[in-house]
Amino acid sequence: MSEKTSQERVKFWHAQELGQLELLHATYVTHTFARHIHSGFAIGVIEQGAEKFYYRGAEHVAPAGHVVVINPGEVHTGQAATEKGWTYRMLYPEIALVQRAMAEVTGQPTDIPDFPQPVIRDDDMVEHIRHLHLTLENPATTPLEREAQFVSTLVRLISRHAEPALKLPPAGGERQVVRRVRDYLEAHYAENVLLEQLAAIANLSPFHFLRAFRAETGLPPHAYLNQVRIERAKVLLAQGWPPAQVAAETGFADQSHLTKRFKGIVGVAPGQYWLYRKNVQDKSA
């Protein structure tokens, strides 16, 4: 699926044999990614121009010829660092996929790699990731070839640039008050939720609740709710729901509001995402 404007080019697709691995090849000039998180990793290479982004409390610039790696659950942004924008190839593997590669390195199937540097200069790694991306884009390649190249590329990246293991918080390890609110938002994402409601669930004043929630999640409640809504919208679009109906189902005022938030996090408009998924389903029917 491709989306084109006068300056920007976006192609978004999935590698079905790799657990619906999401892939993106894009040129962005004016587009800005809102503060958001990924449930899995974001791994890619900058082909042209430069991207700047906020991550782990600092602003980073990734110029052409560099690898970019964002760990799961980390708040980040994205925008052009030059007037001409940037072109990049990105993969978004879920944690379980990366764990398979990590097990080849450590022998521990439960280990999750931590990449301490979000911008990496490694010419050899750039070529391997770019070649993997092109392989996953080429329909003439076999599933076996794709899977083998994915694992070998991830093993190489982990061996060179990852710390032994990413320490994710254990289940229930975050503040229980924040966990209760997150559960509520994930169950009531389509509703018009008020700050007073969430503060009452947490049994905190609105001010103290906002501080606690942001400290735990890295996002204010409204941004976290948008993230939940977008993830649900992706599921519905993949099931064939038209964007206007998805907007109503997920709590957005209308389709234009869904489009703005969706593109700010996913990088493509929901209509294009829907068309891509529809084309995939039609071909497999």
Tell me the C-alpha distance between 189 and 178, whole Å. 16
Lowest mean pLDDT across 13-22, 122-131, 238-247: 13-22
Tell me the C-alpha distance between 46 and 64, whole Å. 5
Contact 157, 43 (CB under 8 A): yes
Contact 114, 163 (CB under 8 A): yes
Tokens of residue 128, six digits: 């391997």
Question: Helices marked H in 138-175 — which ranges?
Answer: 143-161
Give the E-state strand segments of 113-233 in sequence order.
Answer: 119-120
- Name the residue among 72, 77, 19, 74 with its Cα closest to residue 51: 77
Query: What is the predicted pLDDT for the residue at 10?
Result: 93
Tell me the C-alpha distance between 245 and 96, whole Å. 32
Query: What is the predicted pLDDT for the residue at 61?
Result: 99
For 223-232, how does the pLDDT look when each residue is reduced to its tens digit (9 = 90+)?
A: 999 999 999 9
Range from 76-80, 97-101, 216-220 that averages highest in pLDDT: 76-80
Contact 178, 217 (CB under 8 A): yes
Residue 106: pLDDT band by 50, 70, 90 thresholds?
confident
Contact 259, 271 (CB under 8 A): yes
Contact 71, 58 (CB under 8 A): no
Residue 124: pLDDT band by 50, 70, 90 thresholds?
very high
For 28-68, how does the pLDDT look when each residue is reduced to its tens digit (9 = 90+)?
A: 999 999 999 999 999 999 999 999 999 999 999 999 999 99
In this prediction the pTM is: 0.85
Report whether pLDDT(157) > 70: yes
Tell me the C-alpha distance between 202 and 225, whole Å. 16
Only one residue has tokens 């590669």, namely 101
Query: What is the predicted pLDDT for the residue at 274?
Result: 86
- Which residues contact residue 220 at a Cβ distance below 8 angstroms, ignoring those fewer than 6 apart? 210, 213, 214
Domains located in the chain, CATH noted:
2-161 (2.60.120.280), 176-284 (1.10.10.60)
